Amino acid sequence: MRKKIIFSFLLFSGLAGIIAAQPVQDKAQLEKERKEIQKELSEIQGQYNKVKGQTKQTLGQLSILNRKINLQEQYINSINKELRNIDDDIYLSNLEIYRLQKQLDTLKTQYAKTVIYAYKNRSNYDYLNFIFSANSFNDAIRRISYLKSYRAYREKQVGVILETRQLIAHRKEQQLGRKEQKNVALDNQTKQVQELAVQKKEKDVVVAQLKSKEKDLSRQIADKKKKDRDLQNAIVAIVRREIKAAEDAAKAKAKAEADEKKKADDLAKKNKPAENPTTKPGTNPAITNPVITTTTTTATKRNEPAKKPESYLDLNAKDVALNNKFELNRAKLPWPVDNGVVTMTFGNNKIDNTLLTFDNPGITISTPSAGAPVKAVFDGEVVGVYNLGDGMAVTIRHGKYFTTYSNLTGVSVSRNTIVQTGQQIGRTGKDDDGSGGQIDFILMIETRNVDPKPWLRR
């Protein structure tokens, strides 16, 4: 019984430690996420404050508002997660307190039985009679040891009862702290929901004003689509040129190897001793001269068309190493600008309450002001520097991966320049409003566009 009680106490204590540690980890993670969201919200609010007072409503203003609302919703979701964790913790704490209370009741009952037994046999005569009634000296020693163990067991029971009481009190104190945290989180949730409602009203005003100027908005979108189309065509042309160059190099290498092998084969045949033209009657020339069969088979294999590789940009050792390194840095690439926020996301973007949509080939990043340094996100080679009319663009090849930085000024690299991660390649140009800086950042795997944001450091 004693071992069972002690084991139960240790088991409940272990469970208590696990339950107590988990919410702390979750809370730390949620707090980290919330700080990141708050930082981005602060940055994007600064961007919006610069265009908020302008009479001319633009696509950029709406994009910033949409991004701000999206971040606000993420922030509220983070608070909701914390509230769920707190509720789960309080529920588990209640279960633990209930179990500990039942354990304490059992311990008290067991201890009461030992006290009653000790009271009934409290005289020294009973103890002496128990010892001296032993059959032998060794039996008497064992009885003395039993009495000592029994006394130690009672003392242990008292210790376990006191520890269990302290544990219950500690859990109740923790529970009060979690309830206080819940009240703070609920207040914050109410405040953030109200802030979200204000932002949505503000957005409705901007959307209504934009809708009243739908022709102007359509022109803005048409301009963006044309710029994106011109940019995409320029990038695809560069990528195809690089693929063709890699293909030509691969074929030239294969031809050189084949020519070298043919020369070696011809030399081997030339130096080979002449065959005996006389064959014995009744023999098969194909058997007596196996070289004919072997030569025919080799020629057939040589004439088979070579299998086309999946990618010519993943053949040579340099490209293979670069591709592997780039893939390993997914979600770890540095941002192309410091203090930038994404105002237009990758893929389809729809203008609220209108039928107007546009497809963004990358992400649009805004900076507090024009002229902010733009940096390469990875090691590579500059394969294109070109003017799109209202700004410059730079395309860098990283094996089969291509990154493009558009709407640049002050480009500081040229074609065939080898760049390193974090090296400045230019500066941000002005955004559509002229109130800040902006670049379009595009990531392609050969000719296929992919969302660059999951590749950037979080």
- 49-66: burial string, b at 16+ Cβ within 10 Å, e else: ebbeeeeebbbbbbbbbb
Give me 188's structure tokens: 């914050």
> Given this model, what pLDDT does residue 234 score?
94
> Given this model, what pLDDT does residue 353 score?
60
- The pTM of this model reads 0.64
Whole-number Cα distances in Å, 357 to 239, 243, 348: 27, 32, 7
| Domain segments of the chain as ranges | 2-212, 215-239+327-455
Q: Which helix (H) or strand (E) holds 383?
A: strand 380-387
Q: Could you tell me which of 67, 73, 76 has the C-alpha nearest to residue 345? A: 67
Strand stretches in 278-371, DSSP E: 341-344, 347-350, 357-360, 363-367
The one-letter amino acid code at 400 reads K
> Given this model, what pLDDT does residue 147 score?
67
Mind listing the pLDDT tens digit of every residue in the chain (458 residues)? 445 444 454 444 454 454 444 555 566 777 788 788 887 788 777 767 765 655 455 666 777 788 888 888 988 998 898 888 888 888 888 888 888 888 888 878 877 877 776 666 655 445 566 666 777 878 777 777 776 776 677 677 777 888 888 888 888 888 888 889 899 989 999 999 998 999 888 888 887 777 777 777 778 788 888 889 999 999 999 999 999 999 999 899 888 888 888 888 878 887 776 555 555 555 555 444 444 444 444 444 455 555 667 788 988 888 999 999 999 999 999 999 998 888 888 988 777 666 677 889 999 998 888 999 999 999 999 999 999 887 899 999 999 999 999 999 999 999 999 999 999 999 999 887 666 889 999 999 999 999 999 999 87
Give me 423's structure tokens: 């090296």
The one-letter amino acid code at 81 reads K
Instruction: List the beta bridge partners of residue 357.
Output: 350
> Given this model, what pLDDT does residue 402 score?
97
The one-letter amino acid code at 427 reads R
CATH topology of domain 215-239+327-455: Glucose Permease (Domain IIA) (2.70.70)
